[in-house]
């Protein structure tokens, strides 16, 4: 134990002497949390809209005011023709064209029905789907207002639907994204730093000195991993506090459970980083390998896209993705208040992954030695 304490002192001295590493540990996570929490959102709050009003009647202006009164729509301009509006979409100045045909008001009054043309920029399919849903809802509300004005009273609906949004009543996307961002931050700190740790000893030539000392393999591994494990736990604690104060993140579940699972997760990630470090001969190789695995893990973790929506082969690959397990766990604990019994399966998977990576790290260090 005394040997491990001396190794920890050595590692912490090296960490705090390295001026390039300190910003990575303490500054970068906070900046990323602030930026990503606002940037990683699928909510649409600025739908650029161009209107082609061929009717120019009271009814058409009333319908346009429905869109102007919504905070989701930004009315860019009124176009004189559909071709002019289409050019604005092609130039990226508009995402939605609302074309009101001639005799719109006349058809509403005489035939009790009229058509409105909607053209949506569908390069981003998810955004196009949301624009269609928002626009349809506004037109439905406008239809209801027309029926009410003609009947003189509000029509009786056969089914009255009320909504109750569990775990995120305000439908705030940051509430969903911030827990996942916290997982990314501690992963980046642990994965990258542990990935560069042993290889830095190789580049400086001190690995040979360590190998000839009477330090046992488990002491060497513990001395290399524990400093970054401690730093990652500190980053997670500070990140949760920051998320609570700045983003009002609801933490319904147990903090002890979050840190307990995080400790298991970090052992798995640090073991994987140490494997990469023993496989690499230079820090450049280590950074490329770490970045490769990091990008794959993040994109397939369910951070942006639900795992259930992925192809079956991608879901099968996610069995060996520790980020997918921890992101799912931290969202369940913080937002739903899940207990250990609810997350036992992903926790067990993380524990197995950690045992495998740490065992491989010890085996690889034996080959280096």
pTM, two decimal places? 0.78
Helices 322-331 and 283-299 pack at an angle, to 10 degrees, of 50
The 10s digit of each residue's pLDDT in 60-90 is 888 888 888 888 888 888 888 889 988 888 8
| pLDDT of res. 106 | 84
Higher pLDDT, 324 or 16: 324
Task: Say if residue 135 is exposed, middle or buried (CB neighbours under 10 Å; 0-12, 13-18, 19+).
Answer: buried
The 10s digit of each residue's pLDDT in 288-327 is 888 888 888 888 888 877 888 788 888 888 888 999 999 9
The 10s digit of each residue's pLDDT in 149-163 is 665 555 555 555 566
| CB-facing half-sphere around the CA of 165: CA atoms within 13 A | 8
| Residue 345 clears pLDDT 50, i.e. is over it | yes
Beta bridge partners of 48: 74
Beta bridge partners of 330: none
Both ends of the chain: CA-CA distance in Å? Answer: 21
| Distance of alpha carbon 69 from the chain centroid | 31
| Residue 275 clears pLDDT 70, i.e. is over it | yes
CA angle 14, 15, 20 (to 5 degrees): 115
| Residue 133 clears pLDDT 90, i.e. is over it | no
CA angle 169, 174, 179 (to 5 degrees): 100
pLDDT class of 367 with cuts at 50, 70, 90: very low
Report d(CA 203, CA 205) in Å as an integer: 5
| Residue 265 clears pLDDT 80, i.e. is over it | yes
* Tokens describing residue 220: 């060497």
The structure tokens 């085996």 sit at: 363
| Distance of alpha carbon 231 from the chain centroid | 22
The 10s digit of each residue's pLDDT in 29-47 is 778 788 877 777 666 778 8
Q: Domain-by-domain residue ranges, the chain?
A: 2-40+170-368, 47-151
| pLDDT of res. 369 | 43
The 10s digit of each residue's pLDDT in 169-193 is 777 778 888 898 899 888 888 887 7
Report d(CA 29, CA 182) in Å as an integer: 9
How far lies 213's CA from each of 24, 208, 329, 363, in Å? 31, 9, 41, 18
What is the overall mean pLDDT for the chain? 81
Note the helical H segments in the chain.
2-17, 21-22, 28-39, 58-68, 82-90, 104-110, 125-151, 173-204, 207-211, 217-246, 255-279, 283-299, 312-317, 322-331, 344-368
**Residues contacting 236, CB < 8 A, separation 6+:** 182, 185, 186, 258, 259, 262
**Residues contacting 103, CB < 8 A, separation 6+:** 55
| Residue 115 clears pLDDT 70, i.e. is over it | yes
* Tokens describing residue 23: 């910003």
Q: Which CATH code fits 47-151?
A: 3.40.1710.10
Report d(CA 278, CA 197) in Å as an integer: 9
Q: Give percent of the chain above pLDDT 70.
A: 87
Which DSSP string corresponds to 183-198? HHHHHHHHHHHHHHHH
Higher pLDDT, 365 or 311: 311
| pLDDT of res. 348 | 93
pLDDT class of 247 with cuts at 50, 70, 90: confident
- Cα pseudo-dihedral 233, 239, 240, 246, rounded to 10: 170
Helices 255-279 and 173-204 pack at an angle, to 10 degrees, of 40
């Amino acid at each position: 134990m005394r040997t491990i304490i001396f190794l920890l002192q050595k590692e912490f001295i090296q960490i705090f002497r390295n001026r390039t590493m300190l910003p990575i540990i303490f500054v970068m996570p906070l900046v990323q949390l602030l930026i990503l929490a606002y940037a990683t959102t699928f909510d649409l709050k600025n739908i650029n809209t161009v209107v082609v009003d061929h009717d120019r009647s009271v009814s058409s202006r009333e319908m346009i005011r429905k869109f102007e009164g919504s905070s989701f729509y930004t009315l860019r301009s009124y176009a004189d023709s559909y071709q002019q509006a289409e050019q604005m979409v092609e130039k990226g100045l508009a995402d939605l064209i609302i074309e009101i045909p001639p005799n719109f008001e006349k058809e509403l009054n005489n035939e009790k029905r009229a058509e409105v043309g909607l053209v949506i920029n569908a390069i981003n399919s998810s955004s196009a789907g949301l624009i269609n849903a928002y626009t349809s809802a506004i037109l439905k509300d406008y239809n209801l207002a027309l029926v009410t004005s003609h009947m003189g009273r509000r029509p009786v609906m056969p089914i009255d639907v009320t909504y109750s949004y569990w775990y995120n009543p305000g439908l705030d996307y940051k509430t969903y994204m911030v827990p996942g961002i916290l997982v990314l931050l501690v992963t980046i700190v642990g994965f990258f730093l542990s990935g560069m740790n042993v290889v830095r000893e190789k580049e400086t030539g001190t690995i040979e000195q360590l190998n000839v000392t009477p330090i046992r393999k488990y002491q060497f591994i513990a001395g290399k991993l524990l400093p970054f494990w401690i730093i990652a736990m500190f980053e997670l604690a500070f990140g949760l506090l920051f998320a609570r104060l700045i983003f009002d993140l609801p933490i319904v579940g147990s903090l002890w459970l979050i840190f307990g699972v995080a400790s298991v997760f970090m052992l798995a990630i640090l073991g994987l980083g140490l494997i990469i470090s023993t496989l690499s001969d230079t820090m450049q190789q280590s950074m490329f390998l770490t970045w490769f695995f990091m990008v794959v893990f993040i994109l397939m973790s369910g951070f942006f896209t639900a795992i259930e929506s992925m192809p079956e082969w991608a879901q099968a690959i996610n069995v060996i993705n520790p980020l997918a397990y921890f992101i799912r766990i931290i969202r369940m604990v913080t937002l739903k208040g899940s207990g250990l019994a609810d997350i036992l399966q992903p926790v067990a998977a993380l524990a197995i992954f950690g045992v495998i990576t740490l065992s491989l790290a010890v085996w690889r260090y034996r080959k280096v030695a």
